[in-house]
Protein backbone atom coordinates (compact mmCIF):
# COMPACT_ATOMS: atom_id res chain seq x y z
CA UNK A 1 0.00 0.00 0.00
CA UNK A 2 1.33 3.40 -1.00
CA UNK A 3 1.78 6.13 1.50
CA UNK A 4 0.68 9.44 -0.08
CA UNK A 5 1.93 12.25 2.09
CA UNK A 6 4.07 15.35 2.25
CA UNK A 7 7.81 14.75 1.97
CA UNK A 8 9.55 16.09 5.06
CA UNK A 9 12.63 17.06 3.05
CA UNK A 10 11.33 18.86 -0.05
CA UNK A 11 7.70 19.51 0.92
CA UNK A 12 6.17 17.86 -2.16
CA UNK A 13 3.08 15.69 -1.87
CA UNK A 14 3.80 12.29 -3.41
CA UNK A 15 3.73 8.54 -2.85
CA UNK A 16 6.57 8.46 -0.36
CA UNK A 17 7.64 4.88 -1.09
CA UNK A 18 8.49 5.89 -4.68
CA UNK A 19 9.31 9.54 -4.03
CA UNK A 20 12.59 11.14 -5.04
CA UNK A 21 13.30 14.68 -3.90
CA UNK A 22 14.16 17.12 -6.69
CA UNK A 23 17.83 18.15 -6.65
CA UNK A 24 18.94 21.39 -5.04
CA UNK A 25 19.40 24.53 -7.11
CA UNK A 26 20.18 28.02 -5.87
CA UNK A 27 18.45 31.30 -6.64
CA UNK A 28 19.54 34.89 -6.20
CA UNK A 29 17.29 37.91 -6.65
CA UNK A 30 18.46 41.51 -6.14
CA UNK A 31 15.61 42.46 -3.79
CA UNK A 32 16.39 39.49 -1.57
CA UNK A 33 20.12 40.07 -1.02
CA UNK A 34 23.39 38.87 -2.51
CA UNK A 35 23.35 35.36 -1.10
CA UNK A 36 22.20 32.36 -3.08
CA UNK A 37 19.33 30.48 -1.43
CA UNK A 38 18.43 26.83 -1.86
CA UNK A 39 15.42 25.75 -3.88
CA UNK A 40 14.47 22.29 -5.11
CA UNK A 41 13.57 21.67 -8.74
CA UNK A 42 14.19 19.29 -11.64
CA UNK A 43 15.82 21.86 -13.93
CA UNK A 44 17.16 25.41 -14.15
CA UNK A 45 13.88 26.70 -15.55
CA UNK A 46 11.96 24.66 -12.96
CA UNK A 47 13.98 26.39 -10.24
CA UNK A 48 13.21 29.78 -11.81
CA UNK A 49 9.49 28.96 -11.72
CA UNK A 50 9.74 27.68 -8.14
CA UNK A 51 11.39 30.99 -7.23
CA UNK A 52 8.62 32.93 -9.02
CA UNK A 53 6.00 31.08 -6.94
CA UNK A 54 7.90 31.76 -3.74
CA UNK A 55 8.38 35.42 -4.63
CA UNK A 56 4.74 35.86 -5.54
CA UNK A 57 3.36 34.12 -2.47
CA UNK A 58 5.64 36.08 -0.13
CA UNK A 59 5.01 39.40 -1.85
CA UNK A 60 1.27 39.81 -1.87
CA UNK A 61 1.07 38.54 -5.45
CA UNK A 62 3.46 41.26 -6.56
CA UNK A 63 4.46 39.30 -9.64
CA UNK A 64 1.08 39.43 -11.33
CA UNK A 65 1.50 40.94 -14.79
CA UNK A 66 5.11 41.82 -14.00
CA UNK A 67 8.48 40.36 -14.96
CA UNK A 68 11.53 40.10 -12.70
CA UNK A 69 15.04 38.74 -13.09
CA UNK A 70 16.43 35.85 -11.12
CA UNK A 71 19.77 34.05 -11.24
CA UNK A 72 19.65 30.27 -10.93
CA UNK A 73 22.69 28.17 -10.15
CA UNK A 74 23.27 24.45 -9.81
CA UNK A 75 26.41 25.16 -7.83
CA UNK A 76 28.60 25.34 -10.95
CA UNK A 77 26.76 27.15 -13.72
CA UNK A 78 24.71 30.34 -13.32
CA UNK A 79 21.83 31.17 -15.65
CA UNK A 80 19.62 34.27 -15.80
CA UNK A 81 15.87 34.01 -16.14
CA UNK A 82 13.03 36.46 -16.56
CA UNK A 83 10.05 35.19 -14.62
CA UNK A 84 6.49 36.39 -14.69
CA UNK A 85 3.02 35.27 -13.68
CA UNK A 86 -0.48 35.66 -14.98
CA UNK A 87 -3.64 35.10 -13.01
CA UNK A 88 -5.95 32.29 -14.07
CA UNK A 89 -9.49 33.25 -14.90
CA UNK A 90 -12.17 31.15 -13.25
CA UNK A 91 -15.62 31.56 -14.76
CA UNK A 92 -18.77 30.87 -12.82
CA UNK A 93 -22.48 31.17 -13.39
CA UNK A 94 -25.14 31.37 -10.73
CA UNK A 95 -28.67 31.08 -11.93
CA UNK A 96 -30.80 33.89 -10.62
CA UNK A 97 -33.95 33.06 -8.79
CA UNK A 98 -36.92 33.30 -11.08
CA UNK A 99 -39.00 36.34 -10.43
CA UNK A 100 -42.74 36.42 -11.08
CA UNK A 101 -43.00 39.29 -13.51
Assess 62 for contact with Zn ion (CB under 5 A): no
Nearest-angstrom CA–CA distance, 30 and 11 = 25
Q: Which is nearer to Zn ion, 9 or 64 (CB)?
A: 9
Of the pair 21, 82, the CB lying nearest Zn ion is at 21
Of 10 and 29, the one with the shorter C-beta distance to Zn ion is: 10
Q: 4-43: which residues touch Zn ion (CB under 5 A)?
A: 7, 9-10, 21
CA distance 9 to 70: 24
CB 52 within 8 A of CB 70: yes
- The H-or-E segment that residue 81 falls in is strand 78-84
Residue whose Cβ sits closest to Zn ion: 7
Span from 2-10, 31-39, 44-52, 78-86 in contact with Zn ion (CB under 5 A): 2-10
Nearest partner of 83 among 48, 56, 50, 37, judged by Cα = 48
Residues that bind Zn ion (CB under 5 A): 7, 9-10, 21
Amino acid sequence: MSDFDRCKICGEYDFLDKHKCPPIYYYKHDDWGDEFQKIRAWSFSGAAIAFAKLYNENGDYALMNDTIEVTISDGKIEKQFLVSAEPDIHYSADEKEASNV
